[in-house]
Amino acid sequence: MRSQIVITEDFESFKEELEAQVEPQNLRIIESDEIKVEHAKEAIKEAYITSKETKVIALFGLGYNIYAQNALLKILEEPPLGVVFLLVARSRSIFLPTILSRLPIERREGLEVERISFESFDLERLYELAQQAKSMSKSQAKSVIKGMLEYALRQHFALTPRELDYFDKAIRLLELHSNPANVFITAGLILLTHKKRRK
């Protein structure tokens, strides 16, 4: 991992990804609607606390004020050994040219969960969804389950109380880090059973 600007709409997913990849003692997340000088100073102070392993300092902000960016310039140019800075935002346009010239930019396209169409949902699509589950964040996986339930309700499927209860349970299972593929398969089979009854 190297210091960079990360452009993403889905802060939560990226945060979950970092937490899964980096040991808690080597990860410092600083988050605010607007990254200000005090946040920059906090990040700089953290960078100089020595660590045997690579330390990742991630700043998440909808905006980064000019003073904060100027405060970060020198450390981004010459970071302490073993320190990686991630400046996470939704748009590159909020950064000063001086920051943009010092860091590479990674654009992360989130999985377009909202665009999953359940109209053409079949066993093959369920299998694909189970495969995609590996790269989904918890919030994306929950969006899939919500999408399935919304589709079932729009179609006026006669879900049994037990089936309805499963959708509620599915969200809780995902919260508890259950394997999303297993959760999707059960929920998906409920949908497919009702679709088949309609034919």
- pLDDT score for 158: 93
Enter the DSSP assignment of 101: T
Dist CA 53 CA 66 (whole Å):
31
- pLDDT score for 134: 76
- pLDDT score for 112: 55
Q: Enumerate residues 6+ apart whose C-beta is below 8 A from 160.
A: none
Dist CA 127 CA 141 (whole Å):
15
Grouping H, G, I as helix, E, B as strand and the rest as coil, residue 122 is: coil
Structural domains in the chain, CATH included, are 4-107 (3.40.50.300), 113-198 (no CATH)
Dist CA 188 CA 176 (whole Å):
20
Low-confidence ranges of the chain (pLDDT < 70): 109-115, 199
CA neighbours closer than 13 Å in the CB half-sphere of residue 128: 10
- pLDDT score for 117: 75
Give Cα 134 distance to the centre of its chain. Answer: 13
- Widest Cα–Cα separation across the chain: 66
Cut 0.75: pTM above it: no
- pLDDT score for 71: 96
Grouping H, G, I as helix, E, B as strand and the rest as coil, residue 176 is: coil
pLDDT in tens, 63-115: 999 999 999 999 999 999 999 999 999 889 999 999 999 999 998 765 555 56
